[in-house]
Chain A
Amino acid sequence: MTAFSPSSDQSPTDTLAPSLALGAELLDHGAPEGGHPDHRMFGLATFLVADGMTFAGFFAAYLTFRAVNPLPAGAIYELELILPTINTVLLVVSSFTFHRAAKQLRQNQLGACRLWLLVTAGLGLAFLGGQMVEYFSLPFGLTDNLYASTFYALTGFHGLHVTLGALMILIVWWQARIPGKFTADHHFGVEAAELYWHFVDGIWLILYGILYLL
């Protein structure tokens, strides 16, 4: 991740062509600070809209399947609720712990921030563990029937997102050990991971609603 920290060594004298004066960085638009504005959070938010549409397509397919296609006789519709509910609590709590981590970072409490990041990643990994336990205890497999296939596709795709999110958190946790990598004002990595994590959390709440409760 390129750091877009404000640089003070640019001379403000050349007002006509501020970024042209940078010479060697001319052909590398990403590099000159101030030469290229940072819209990465906006870009990430747009990407998450797109990602959310993938889930929306899956939800629509699942709900239509349930409304239109009858299950074969003897197929299991009802799911065990205890483990998924614990998992839901873990994920919701992890959103709050991540929020806490970002708050500590904005107050320049880097140590506390890293601690809360680690807690968040741990909660995410615990969720994945719970998902694994559930997968192995379910009475149906991927190809048993339409409902089973859709269940695994939806939870699996979400689980992939949780895995990526947990990796992102562990990466920013590891990067945060470098002094000055994340400051109270400049911490795109943490901010991006947080937005992504809240998104994954929100998707899970919808999934929990339509897969387990509906």
Chain B
Amino acid sequence: MTIALPPQTSSSPPGLQPEGWLRYLSFSLDHKVIGLQYMVAGFFFYLVGGALAGMIRIELASPISDFIGRETYNEVLTLHGTVMIFLWIVPVVNGAFGNYLIPFYVGARDMAFPRLNAVAFWLIPPAGFLLIASYFIGGAAQSGWTAYPPLSLTTPAAGQVVWILSVLLLGGSSIFGGINFIATVLKMRRPGLKMMQLPMYCWAMLGTSILVVLSTPVLAGTLVLLSFDIIAHTGFFNPALGGNAVVYQHLFWFYSHPAVYIMVLPAFGLVSEILPVHARKPLFGYTTMVYSILAIVFLGLIVWAHHMFTSATPPWMRLFFTIATAFIAVPTGIKFFNWLATLWGGKIALNSAMLFSCAFILHFVFGGITGVALAQVPFDIHVHDTYFVVGHFHYVVYGGTVFVIFGSIYHWYPKFTGRMLNEDLGRFHFLITFIGFNLCFAPQHWLGLNGMPRRVAEYDPQFTLVNQISSVGALLMALSTLPFLINVFWSAFSGKVAGDNPWNALTPEWLTTSPPPVENWKGEAPLVTHPYGYGVPPGQIDLKAATGRELWSSGQ
């Protein structure tokens, strides 16, 4: 990447911050560098978490525990969940794309707090390596990513304490990021840019960050109490010492249900950016999209106990949380139909970004439907802690969010590097990811409905064949990473040169060079009041920036 400096400053090159690729290993304050740092670090942890998932699927290819021991299996599944959630999805879908895009979208030259931003990123690699290292020194935590007591109190303490420490660091990073996004969206907007003119991803990140700021601290406090239980032998959550394990579940899910929205709301935002560009149509129902996000934020905070229907929850609590959860289907459904209406009648380019986005819509609506089913107490009691829940969850976070991450990389890679990704390899990547993913996780619904419990290394032999099908799907998913990696590395050096705006998009990040200069624009930041003004006759839209008018005519 080159930094385009204005001529008047070229005589005195800046000295404090490194240039070239070394920037990405430095405490850089540039939001674009930090965004890519998040992305690459997150992808590294995705490979780690994927290898762990591979170990799980190899173990489950046969009904007896033969590949790894039962305790190792517990460690592997705990690490898989924690790495994938806290080190891959949350940092990438929030930190990477949020840091890269939000300052462009609000017309700012950087985030509100650039130093805090760099601190938030640099908390992640140490926390990640700490977590992974716990496997090699004395064994990792074994109590799953939920760390429910009393299980987390009876499994070996060292790994559990390292796990808590690591999650606390990652939670701190997440809170710092959330504060930064809220301040940037609310306070750093270019003069003249109204909230209701912002690209949808800004609203998604605002909603996500509100959830981060309100719920992550509760998890942090809870984990501190849990560490007291382990280290100081207090009895907060230990029934043997007069404590209450269900209180831990309430506090944990007060964070971890919103955490699902922390993982998926930004993906909603990213899809809302990708679809209009590649369908050449305005985003359908902008205002309802905004209110849906806000409704999901509010409802997301009051549905946590639907994870606890088997934890002796009283009937009034079951009723309330069932109804509240079912309500979330309304704003989510609004968004779903808005995306369909955006595509309807559009001039759709079926490129990799679009394919991944469409697959997201498909998977998410399936994961959403099983989610509504799981919110119903009579059904939930039967499938609680079975593979049905595993299938549902992966349809939401992998079929939903990870597909969006890949689609977003295909969409924004030209902006990051100035070069296009190879479309043939991209479509091939999509095809095997799509087949592999559905082959891996769709059968798990059947397994759950037939009673196979989750989190066990051994199972009833009648489930062998379906588990083997699922494992073949996992193998395809692992292989699908190869064309993607080849594509990313090859295209970085030999890809087609993209130009500033290869998609003829209207959102502000495309109205600068690729890759963008430090501080984003050589001149004044453009005022983009209609980020989705595709296909509208130029005369009907008040586009103050001259760039937009040219884009439509070339885009149609």
List residues of chain A with CB under 8 Å of any chain B CB: 16-17, 19-21, 23-30, 35-37, 39-40, 42-43, 46-47, 49-58, 60-61, 64-65, 68-69, 71-72, 142-143, 145-146, 149-150, 153, 157
The 9 A-B pairs at the shortest CB distance, nearest first, are namely A57-B218, A54-B217, A27-B17, A149-B234, A53-B217, A54-B221, A23-B9, A29-B114, A57-B221
Q: A64-B250, A143-B232 are in contact. Are A27 and B244 (CB under 8 A)?
A: no
CA distance A65 to B6 in the complex (A): 63
Q: Which of B69-77, B93-101, B519-527 contacts A (4 or more CB under 8 A)?
A: B519-527
Q: Tell me whether B247 and A61 are in contact (CB under 8 A).
A: yes
Q: How many of chain B's residues touch chain A, expressed as a range?
A: 35 or more
Q: Tell me whether B188 and A37 are in contact (CB under 8 A).
A: yes
Q: Which of B155-163, B175-183, B402-410, B471-479 contacts A (4 or more CB under 8 A)?
A: B175-183
Q: Tell me whether A43 and B114 are in contact (CB under 8 A).
A: no
Residue of A39, A68, A149, A153 touching B113 (CB-CB under 8 A): A39
CA distance A30 to B8 in the complex (A): 21
In the bound complex, residues from chain B placing their C-beta under 8 Å from that of A153 are: 224-225, 228, 234, 236
In the bound complex, residues from chain A placing their C-beta under 8 Å from that of B179 are: 43, 46-47, 50
Q: Tell me whether B213 and A49 are in contact (CB under 8 A).
A: yes
CA distance A68 to B29 in the complex (A): 49
Query: Which of B110, B232, B247, B518 lies at the interface centre, i.e. has the most chain A CB atoms within 10 A of its CB?
Result: B247
Q: Tell me whether A65 and B110 are in contact (CB under 8 A).
A: no
In the bound complex, residues from chain B placing their C-beta under 8 Å from that of A52 are: 217
Q: Tell me whether B234 and A65 are in contact (CB under 8 A).
A: no
Query: Is chain A's interface secondary structure helix, strand, loop, or mixed overall?
Result: helix
Q: Which of B226-283 contact A (CB under 8 A)?
A: 228, 232-236, 241-244, 247, 250-251, 254
B112 to A, closest residue via Cβ: A39
List residues of chain B with CB under 8 Å of any chain A CB: 5-6, 8-9, 12, 14-17, 28-30, 109-110, 112-116, 175, 178-180, 182-183, 186-188, 213-218, 220-222, 224-225, 228, 232-236, 241-244, 247, 250-251, 254, 518-519, 522-524
Q: What are 26 A-to-B residue pairs whose CB atoms are below 8 Å?
A: A17-B6, A17-B522, A20-B519, A24-B12, A26-B519, A27-B14, A27-B518, A28-B29, A29-B109, A29-B114, A30-B115, A35-B109, A39-B188, A43-B179, A47-B175, A51-B217, A53-B215, A53-B218, A57-B217, A57-B221, A57-B222, A57-B251, A57-B254, A143-B232, A145-B235, A153-B236
Q: Tell me whether B183 and A146 are in contact (CB under 8 A).
A: no
Q: Tell me whether A17 and B524 are in contact (CB under 8 A).
A: yes
CA distance A200 to B380 in the complex (A): 42
Q: Tell me whether A149 and B244 are in contact (CB under 8 A).
A: no
A68 to B, closest residue via Cβ: B244
CA distance A153 to B228 in the complex (A): 9
Instruction: Beyond A23-B9, A142-B234, A146-B235, list 11 extra A-B contacts (CB 8 Å).
Output: A19-B519, A23-B14, A24-B15, A25-B14, A27-B29, A35-B109, A39-B112, A46-B178, A49-B213, A50-B175, A64-B247
CA distance A110 to B178 in the complex (A): 36
Q: A21-B8, A28-B17, A50-B179 are in contact. Are A16 and B220 (CB under 8 A)?
A: no
In the bound complex, residues from chain A placing their C-beta under 8 Å from that of B234 are: 142-143, 149, 153
Q: Tell me whether A142 and B247 are in contact (CB under 8 A).
A: no
Query: Which of B221, B236, B241, B518 lies at the interface centre, i.e. has the most chain A CB atoms within 10 A of its CB?
Result: B221
Q: Tell me whether B110 and A26 are in contact (CB under 8 A).
A: no
Q: A19-B109, A53-B217 are in contact. Are A42 and B235 (CB under 8 A)?
A: no
A46 to B, closest residue via Cβ: B179
Q: Tell me whether B519 and A146 are in contact (CB under 8 A).
A: no
In the bound complex, residues from chain A placing their C-beta under 8 Å from that of B244 are: 64-65, 68-69, 146
How far apart are A24's CB and chain B's nearest CB, in angstroms? 5
In the bound complex, residues from chain A placing their C-beta under 8 Å from that of B14 are: 23-28
Q: A51-B217, A146-B241 are in contact. Are A37 and B187 (CB under 8 A)?
A: yes
